[in-house]
Structure 1
């Protein structure tokens, strides 16, 4: 049997890459459920259909904000768990940035007063990408250290 030793602070990585994204996802899912009710978008439709749903764009912006987190969550978690083996505190802080940025991204994306590009950049997009990229670099650094 092979044993893997984890750093003392690795629990923070588990919290910010395992638990916190799940809580963030629940929060974002709740916003989508509220938007479904508000804009009358029934299942099984993932998105509202323009021309059929009166407020298709408004609902789709909320749904898209949530979907963005789901699209890169597995990559974020993977690089966090790996990078945290060498840099647990850095990866934990980046995990908080990723989750906060994901929440802010959705809030910006669903802000109908802003055009989509401005909303993504103004509210959260750079923050979540910073969290993801820092952990990607940490994972790459750890991977290179394992090559003999």
Structure 2
């Protein structure tokens, strides 16, 4: 399903994809645990984004509340694929994902960010804030 107004694409399980900037794709995980079908769905969405050879891919994992072993394996797989393709990959993740990656000894394989601005900065995008118009 896609929206012509926003350029956002949504798959059946609510993984959403859009373009944050030209050549920078965002994949937003569905809410809940990254296990079972959600692993395949998110992995397929990241694979599709990587196949277009963008400058970077931001995987937004903030909706997740847990990550299983299959989810960690998929994240490693897409990180390896991004590296082979020379595509920047950064994860925007909550504490639960950071903890799972740390517990598995995988944090050094990823660029981890707390928010989208930090993720874009990691990819080398200058994020400018507009001056406040309050008086």
**TM-score (ref. length: structure 2):** 0.26
Structure with higher helix content:
1
Task: Answer with 1 or 2: which has the greater Rg.
Answer: 1
Q: More relative contact order in 1 or in 2 (CA 8 Å, sep 6+)?
A: 1
TM-score w.r.t. the length of structure 1 is 0.24
